[in-house]
Amino acid sequence: MEKISLILVVALFIYCEGQLDRRTPPKDLTIDQIMSRMLGGYGAIANRLTLPGGLVLKELDMYVTQEQFNALNSNSKRKRRKAVRNPVSYWDGGRVPYRFTPGHFDDGDQYFVKVAMRELEKYTCLRFKERTTETDYVDMMDSQGCWSRLGKEGGRQELSLDRNGCRFKGLYLHEIGHAVGLIHEQNRPDRDGYIRINEQNIQPGLKDQFNKYPVSYINTYAIPYDFPSVMHYGVTAFSRDGRSQTISALPAYKDKEAEIGRVYQKELSFGDVRVLNAMYRCNDHCDDSVRCDGGFLDQNCECICPDGTSDCMIGKTKLNPGCRNSEDDWKCNVWAKQGECRRRSEWMNTNCARACGSCGNSQNVRQDQENVCENVYDDDTCNEWRDNGDCVVAEDWMRQNCKMSCNYCSKSNPRPNTNCMNAYSDDTKCRGWALEGECVINPAWMPINCASDCHSCKNNGSIPDEGTKTTRTPTQTRPPVVTTPPPTTPPPDSCEDRYPTSGCQRFQSRWNYCTIYKMWMDANCMKTCELCSGGKREKELDSCKDENRYCPDWARRGDCVFNPSYMLSNCKKSCRVCTSGLREGSDELVQQLMAENGSTRSAVSQLSILIAICTVAVLV
């Protein structure tokens, strides 16, 4: 028991500390496991594959039309691409308008979704723009589960990121990947040369979720099967008991199994980047004279190589070839571009020395731009990254690629708008908050009280002699314990139409879906289906309540996924499993987990207490 308690304390320390994802990603769960728990387990999923409006839930998180479903499962001779070939399904010019449904995302969650979008923008020619008057756009919403439409559907199309468990960077990249046209890696037509599907371990009724797309439908662009792809499910996807492997790597690739589907290490893989560049023809404007050995040309007509550098460009001199990363080269370079060399400097400089340039390596510096004051990327994109805080969070990347937007051109003033003291007394905390994105998330407090670290000093002159700064202003107030202020709009209520009310009302008035598709409608259209206070069916929710006053806070922090044994039993309302079908599915999942772990009531009880302590510490 003491050992269990110690493990829980250590886990809670990591949990409380957090990281760039804002919420610590679950290291013991894969992408598909998170998705299935948000939908009440595989038993519940098997009963809700057909959804309102003729839509079909395919492979857990793709919300497709009947026409798309038939095409993805047909043996047609029509030639298709790895994602969707029909140009109508691509976003024109790679530009994807989007909006956040009002009240569904606070400022912090919006920021981290945009971080994922910026990663796609840095590696591909996709551009994400907040919607103004566009008729075709992605509507980010807080509905039941994690899911997206496939490619551009035309008009408003939904992308759900349930606040109770879907808000991690790996899931953002996965669902946005579907929205721009990517499919699941494990369904590729050539998958049998790399993995084995263990049909005997699949949940009854869900074997068709592993159907291969026909070779006539998919074009893999001759890109090898991609085990670390952000679009790959885990090795127990659709498992009958939650632990038996349904996906096994063939012996020649057994060492790849550990990285399949893991949320905590999900970044865009080299294969993901290469496919998206091919789909959207990002290098069509480039001169054919530039060639890459093993890599490909990106939107800026430079090579992207499997190790994350541009060293595979034919004729290029490799800089400091003796410098090495001890971690995976591709991931090191991804992390470096995200600003991790400053944010986690000790670990990165030790393990990703080449990517951070900490051993004299400068392979990321564009020599042709060293004395030129201009942006490598288009000005609009650089300006948008600047406005979203990348000049602070990813300073090294922006200095190399968006020099003009960040005003990094003057050698006499290498870090503009930093020539003042932070008003807040602790510079270390200001720096840490700034590198975590708080200058954008918390604009009412940070740019004033941590002006130097937010690059928001009003005096933009050269740094005074001996590097001294202007006097610290003592009149500013101290920061709150929680650095991010409350959202401007309250979080969605447990009993509301999380799917747009107009759609819910149309489903019910025209087709009586509250009865025909009871499980889905109850979960997403509770108000329309009269389940809220005063509604005709309110009694169905009488037994659904939270047993602990901290349940709403735990649910928002993801514990419906992290700690389902406790949460799905004691926090039903906050975990949104009140309606009949979801309640049955969650009860089945809890029984399964308890059977796997034996009698863990006392450990779970201790965990709930520790989480309460952690939550109180964060919220006070």
How many Å separate Cα 454 from the centre of its chain?
25
**Nearest-angstrom CA–CA distance, 583 and 75:** 38
Dist. CA 601–CA 275, nearest whole Å:
47
HSE (CB half, 13 Å, CA atoms) of 71? Answer: 16
Helix (H) or strand (E) holding 137: strand 137-141
Distance CA 289, CA 505 (A): 58
Q: How far apart are CA 247 and CA 146, in angstroms?
A: 21
The three state secondary structure string of 603-616 is: HHHHHHHHHHHHHH
User: 169 and 24 in contact (C-beta within 8 Å)?
Assistant: no
Asked if 355 and 329 touch (Cβ cutoff 8 Å), the reply is yes
Query: CA separation (Å) from 545 to 538, 570, 572, 583?
Result: 13, 8, 6, 12
Strands 146-148 and 156-161: antiparallel
What is the widest separation between alpha-carbon atoms in the chain?
75
- Regarding beta strands 50-51 and 55-58, do their DSSP bridges make them parallel or antiparallel, or are they unpaired? antiparallel
Q: Is 424:476 a contact under the CB 8 Å cutoff?
A: yes
Q: Is 346 a catalytic residue?
A: no
Can you list the alpha helix ranges (DSSP code H) found in 135-261? 169-179
- Residue of 158, 175, 302, 436 with catalytic role: 175
- Tell me how long the chain is: 620
Contact between 452 and 409 (Cβ < 8 Å): no
Question: Which residue, among 490, 569, 578, has the nearest Cα to 529 in the 3D structure?
Answer: 578
Would you name the residues annotated as active-site residues? 175
